[in-house]
Amino acid sequence: MARGRIKHRAAITVALLASVAFVFAAVYVYQVPGETVIQYLLMILILLLGVMAVAAVLVAMSVIARKYFKS
């Protein structure tokens, strides 16, 4: 039972951290003036962080759904 609880908390923690990192990266890129190669690389990083955030949220939701809606 404790192992499931640890997975549940880990999934939610990963989802929150990925979402916060996505927001901070987006704010940072929009503050950098000009269009440089570094900015394009950061935009690619933001897209990857966004995908990771969405995936982490989906994993967290599936863990919660399995825990509370056992069939």
Domain-by-domain residue ranges, the chain? 2-68
- The single-letter code of the amino acid at 60 is A
Q: In this predicted structure, what is the pLDDT of residue 54?
A: 81
Digitized pLDDT (tens) for each residue of the chain, 71 residues in all: 556 566 667 777 777 777 777 777 777 777 766 677 777 777 788 788 778 778 878 887 887 788 788 75
The single residue listed with the structure tokens 């990925």 is 18
pTM tops 0.85: no
CB under 8 Å to 39, separation ≥6 — which residues? 29, 32
CA–CA dist 42, 38 (Å, integer): 6
15, 56 Cβ separation under 8 angstroms: yes
